[in-house]
Chains A and B, each alone.
Chain A
Amino acid sequence: MINHDARRSSKPSGAILPAIIVVTVILCASSLVWRSLSLGEGSLSATTGVFAAEAAKSGTGRWEKIVQEAKSEGKVTLLGPETATVRPSMLEAFRKAYPEIELEYQAGSIGSLATRLRAEIAQQKTNFDVVIGGTAVLRNKDILDPLTSRLMVADATDARLWRSSEGNGLKWIDHERQFAAQTSEWVFGYILINSRAVNPASIRSWSDLLKPEWKGQIASHDPRGAGAGQEVASYVLAKLGEKFIVELFKGQDVALTRSYSQVADWVAQGKYQVGIAQVPDRIEALKKEGVALRAYSLQDAAGTLTGGFSVVSVLKGAPHANAATVFVNWVVSKAGQDALHRPQLYPSLRTDVARDYVPDYTLPMAGLNYLDTYTEEFQVTRVKLAKQLGELIGR
């Protein structure tokens, strides 16, 4: 057995000088990096859709030129909804419409990627052209390009083809009415029960959920992170107050999960009797297989009017500027709306798109009041509510 230590007694002094030099050089390099990291807002001015504005004025000839240029760009990159079935649906439908332009699709949210996108735009290294998502675009308008000037095809801008809670015309969720177009509107905030085990008459209002028989019987998508759980819980907090939230989530020992399917699976398997904040696609898939699930709105807080992943925006500095224009015009067309919304079971706000696949509990009912959460005003409140939720639910 040989102890190497005896032979390799490295002199500590030998390490000090190079170590000092290296650390000094690295600190200098770091400071250079640091200086370049400070990407002021001014550097974000970059590219805008000037050409598109001109294009809008110059009619069909211009549009054809844009399509030609889009074809030579060859692809458009989309940051789109995470629902798996959306990707193949969009890829197939867009390929049919524009076989020469490849749609590159990455699932994700602009909310968690905004910092990266901002840095990419500042360095002119953007990968994405178009974003389809939720309200997170409202907090990141500085990295968006106006969409209005890109919507050129008459079919896309005809006010008679669009109807929302605001009335006729395309619904814009930003104050400026030019960055973020909402293309679907549906009801969220319903509860889910297994109708073989629970009588719907026993739960008519949110306060019914505070009854002792439901303690330990409720599951929800976790409201402490961004997502469906937070959407519903912040609405309930706004509507019914802090005390109710604490009594519901803590008092009733609500089971939380981060999975977008687990609430429905738990209720289907009888592990929990009531589900909160379950998106409709899993519910409908289970119902198709004969599972007796039922979703419905409660009287004292009927739910929110949400847009889900239906808000269309274009990023500044889009690397495939013409293809992005072609894509956004396509996505607000009848075919584009069907490809985007059918897999998510969302109703399109376009009046000529079929709604036969949309679950009835996501359609607004007459006589019930819904809170439109897809507005800049509510989003400001929501950020505060989200923080408050974390403090109230804690754990």
Chain B
Amino acid sequence: MVADVDSTMAGSRSRPPAWSLRFFSSLMLLFGVGFVTLVPLGFLVLNSFNTSQLGQEISWGLEGWRQAFGAPQTVKALLYSFLLSTRTFVGIVLAFLISWLLIRVRIPAFAFIEFSLWMAWFLPPLSVTIGWIALLDPKYGLINKLLAGVLPFAVTLNIYSFFGIVWVHLTLLTVPVMTLLLTPAFRQLDASFEESARACGSGPLTTLTRIVLPLLWPAILVVTIASLIRSLEAFEIEQIIGIPAGIYVYGTRIYDLVRWDPPLYSQAMALSTVFLSALFVLVVLYQGFARRHEFATVRAGGMSYRPVTIGKWRYVFSALLILWIVASVYLPLAMVLVGSFMKFFGMFGIENPFTTRHWSLVLRDPAFAKALRNSLMLGLGVATLGVAVYSLLGYTIQRSRLVGRSALNLLVWIPWAIPGILLGLSLLWIFLSIRLFNFLYGTMFVLIFSVVLKEMPIGIQMFKTAFAQVTEELEHASRVAGAGLFTTLRRITIPLVAPMIVSIFVLVFMSSIRDISTPILLATPATTPLSVLMLERSVAGEVEKAAVIGVILSVLAIITALVMRRLGFRMGAEPV
């Protein structure tokens, strides 16, 4: 049937030879994507062999590599980073289970739990980590004080530890973002698969492991790879609670080298090649696997959304999740909010510990209003442009017959091979050096472009999985019925992938207004966003003012998320 439809459509109009048009389009697309991804990568690799300071006479050598990999701290930092990245595997198991409970089982209070997980991911890591310190410092942490008063035996929870770092990552970033990315895939899973399994006598657990899990493998893999790579790059949380514990990670080391005076770029760039190697291995494994395990889960004939029944267990899971949410999201969030009104964050021992002074200082600072406007422009710009670019590329890779799709599929992963701060540096150099783009330097566009590029892998891969889940039969049926490509996209494809569009929009919106490492070198006084302003405050040791900005960022993000969800579910198929 597919072949028939193809031939019908192909013969319906007279056009230039299909192969030449396809070849030309492929070439243009490959060149565009190749340019924006390979040039920053080439800059990074070449400069790892440049022993001079950037901008000075180039001198080739292996000094950067020798110093970077010869330092004993590097080996230790690598080891810690890989050990800490194992949280990804714990995270994916939890996120898969939570997504299934929220979307397929529809446990009581699922909407509250899902929204809370979104919120967890929106919270600024810097402020929340300081919140956790106020709660779990072994000496003065509120929870430790409470435990000492309540328990008959001594138990001390220490945030300044390996497990402290894992806990903050898991609760704040890993599980929430993984759930956020997996839920749209679950939403696009036609329940008739599970119903058929149940009709054949399978229980919920068998159905979950034998039907649901295999169907969602591509999405699970993308999310796992994304999280693994991001965990190698992470440094903000480690910087605050890792250093006092003597835990020094890879991301911190790269950040230090770039922020060193004078910056040690060649060492930082040599170290970042580890990302490239890790990414290469993961992507090759993923491509090989995904090719054999890609299934359409939205088929012609409509979708069934009947919830899975697990009896009384749904209440037990709901209670457990609410408990987890309260402990891991609302407690630190409350701490950040309270901290922003404290004279000294977490210091309850002083007389009259509360004040509104930090709020008034931050809100009166003219830099704040400008940074807020910049953040909104950045967030909306990245989300809008990002969704357009990612969906176009995702659709092209997944659906089109363009030549060179495999090469394109590899190229779009490359931005993850470059740590954010070095991506910012290479883009800064490119925008300054190439006369054609020179006029854009110092504008908001450079920041928007950098974050769109940075988020490209996750955006495109998630769109690919969304398009893969929608069977092509639906689009073919539409075309046969006389609809053009754009009508088909507008009436069929886009509504079916609407939950993913909303997720990606919110995801990149949030990533862009929270991102510090990518814009830090690109932001000028006129384009500084709130996240960089917050970092400035933290660097200066003014954690209370950083908390104020953190609270404002969170509120901003939550409002946007709510609006987008409402809008998204209106335009798409809300499966409730």
Contact = CB atoms under 8 A, between A and B. Distances in A.
B559 interface: no
A258 B137 CA distance: 17
Interface string A1-31: 1111101001010110111011101110110
Contact of B55 (A39, A108, A260): A39
A388 to B, nearest CB: 14
The winner among B248, B365, B432 for most chain A CB atoms within 10 A is B432
Contact of B407 (A18, A34, A114, A259): A18
Interface string B492-512: 000000000000000000000
A15 B403 contact: yes
Interface in B1-24: 2, 23
A115 interface: yes
B434 A36 contact: yes
Contact of A261 (B295, B432, B536, B541): B541
B261 A33 contact: no
Given A30-B42, A84-B537, A261-B543, A14 B404 contact: yes
A257 B58 CA distance: 36
Contacts of A26: 31, 34-35, 38-39, 42
A156 interface: no
Interface residues of B, number: 93
A125 B294 contact: no
A119 B256 contact: no
B304 interface: no
A265 B34 contact: no
A41 interface: yes
Contacts of A279: 541
A125 B46 CA distance: 25
A115 B54 contact: yes
A22 B140 contact: no
A351 interface: no
Nearest to B528: A106
A115 B365 contact: no
Interface string A234-267: 0000000000000000000001111111100100
A40 B57 contact: yes
Interface in A125-150: 125, 127-128, 136, 139
B149 interface: no
A282 B542 CA distance: 9
Interface in B233-277: 239-240, 243-244, 246, 248, 256, 258-263, 265
B306 interface: no
B350 A1 contact: no
Interface in B417-456: 425, 428-430, 432-434, 438, 441-442
A224 interface: yes
B35 A29 contact: yes
B351 A119 contact: no
A34 B524 CA distance: 24
A127 B127 CA distance: 30
Contacts of A122: 55
B296 A84 contact: no
B316 interface: no
A88 interface: yes
Contacts of B528: 106
Interface in B362-381: 364-367
A305 to B, nearest CB: 20
A273 B292 CA distance: 61
Interface string A26-68: 1101101110111111000000000000000000000000000
A394 interface: yes
Contacts of B539: 82, 260
The winner among B34, B55, B248 for most chain A CB atoms within 10 A is B55
Interface string A177-203: 000000000000000000000000000
Interface string A111-123: 1111110111011
B571 interface: no
A226 B259 CA distance: 8
Contacts of A39: 55-56
Interface in B42-71: 42-43, 46, 53-58
B54 A119 contact: yes
Contacts of A15: 403-407
A17 B402 CA distance: 13
A84 B344 CA distance: 15
A99 interface: no
A381 interface: no
Interface stretch (A164-172, A285-293, A357-365, A369-377): A285-293
B55 A118 contact: yes
Contacts of A271: 137, 139-140
B468 A22 contact: no
A107 B350 contact: no
Interface string B387-430: 00000000000000001111100000000000000000100111
A38 B403 contact: no
A1 B140 contact: no
B381 to A, nearest CB: 20
B301 interface: no
A82 B56 CA distance: 28
Contacts of B55: 37, 39, 115, 118-119, 122
B365 A88 contact: yes
Given A269-B139, A289-B343, A37 B429 contact: yes
Interface string B524-548: 1110100000001111111101000
Contact of B296 (A4, A83, A119): A4
A173 interface: no
A33 B350 CA distance: 58
Contacts of B159: none
B351 A19 contact: no
A228 to B, nearest CB: 10
24 contacts: A2-B471, A12-B406, A14-B404, A15-B403, A18-B23, A18-B26, A22-B27, A22-B404, A26-B31, A29-B39, A36-B433, A37-B54, A104-B526, A105-B525, A115-B55, A115-B262, A120-B441, A123-B433, A123-B438, A125-B432, A127-B526, A219-B244, A258-B240, A259-B541
Q: Which 7 A-B pairs have the closest CB atoms?
A: A260-B541, A111-B261, A261-B541, A18-B404, A19-B407, A106-B525, A82-B540
